[in-house]
Amino acid sequence: MKPTDPRTILIALLCAALILLPLYTGFTGNVFMLTLFTRIIIFALAATSLNLILGYGGMMSFGHAAYLGIGGYAVGILAHEGITSGLVQFPVAVLASALFALVVGSLSLRTRGVYFIMITLAFGQMIYYVAAGLDRYGSDDGLTIYRRSQFGGLIDLSNRTQFYYVCLAVLFACLYLVWRIVNSRFGLVIQGIRSNERRMQAIGFPVYRYRLACFVIAGAMCGLAGALLANHTEFISPSIMYWTRSGDLMVMVILGGIGSLFGPLIGTIAFLALEEVLSGITEYWQIIIGPLLLLVVLFGRGGIDGWLGRLRRG
């Protein structure tokens, strides 16, 4: 990454714009924009966590929305039971997601390829049905969260601007974490396994354990996104982890650029902005986005970030 590279400049501009956004919305009073971008940032966090296993690890998980749901339900259920402290809710959300990822991962990582896609999909759907069966917590209709997570007066999540900055800070922290992971010895092993599993095994790496660890980290990170999302919508229902949501997350990663650090962020902005624009044009916006997706898959190698990278080479 040379500083004059158009891609670097664009990403730096993007980050600056995200940091400065509340100034703009505060000035114009455009609350909608701030809410939209809070949502975008939370989904970007989920997509980033998926990118860690999908892009760097080559694990095609189609059940990633499950962690979003588990993180969200952890906040929702604790709030419903009267525990509103974020210092309890957030760790529980992360731990519960990590635990579920450990169970799903230890079973599904025994398999490869299409089996893996289908099994993660099936486990994701399983947790969806479990949530839909929680009579005490609203089952299908979902659960309203009356009070956002409390941080003892330190930060006030009910304040839109503060909440936005919390989400942004978490996203940047996780991007940094992913960057550190990917460039560490652990990350290199994970990427080595993606390129040639058999060789890594022959060299003597415990492939299964490395993959599982990576899978659990991604699950925990997505659980964090889920906890933020529950605070954002102040509502949680099983639909948050319906399988199409896992599909959406995959689309965000692919659209932005798989296996690129900022790809998921770019992809999420593109996808959610496109959704916003198209649904403003027609009620039947999915009739446009479906074939568009197909075209991106067929002709758009490397997503938006890949295209930016090609700009430099001319």
- Residues in contact with other proteins by CB under 8 A are 54, 60, 62, 107-108, 110-111, 113-115, 117-119, 121-123, 125-126, 129-130, 132-136, 243-244, 247, 250-251, 254, 258, 284-287, 289-294, 296-298
Q: What are phi and psi of 73, to 5 degrees?
A: -65, -30
Q: Which is nearer to other proteins, 80 or 232 (CB)?
A: 80
Q: Shortest Cβ distance from residue 166 to other proteins (Å)?
A: 31
Q: Shortest Cβ distance from residue 272 to other proteins (Å)?
A: 15
Q: Which is nearer to other proteins, 136 or 185 (CB)?
A: 136
Give, to the nearest 10 degrees, the angle between helix 6-28 and helix 263-281: 50
Q: Shortest Cβ distance from residue 103 to other proteins (Å)?
A: 9
Q: Shortest Cβ distance from residue 307 to other proteins (Å)?
A: 17
Give the C-alpha separation, 84 to 310, whole Å.
48
Beta bridge partners of 85: 150
Give the C-alpha separation, 25 to 34, whole Å.
6
Q: What are phi and psi of 144, to 5 degrees?
A: -85, 135
Q: Which is nearer to other proteins, 186 or 208 (CB)?
A: 208
Both tokens of 207, joined, read 């492939």
Question: 227, 228, 248, 233: which is closest to 293 by C-alpha?
Answer: 248
DSSP state of 112: -
Q: Which is nearer to other proteins, 205 or 242 (CB)?
A: 242
Q: Which is nearer to other proteins, 54 or 157 (CB)?
A: 54
Q: Shortest Cβ distance from residue 259 to other proteins (Å)?
A: 11
Reading phi first (left if > 0) and then psi (alpha if -120 to 50, else beta), residue 82 is in left
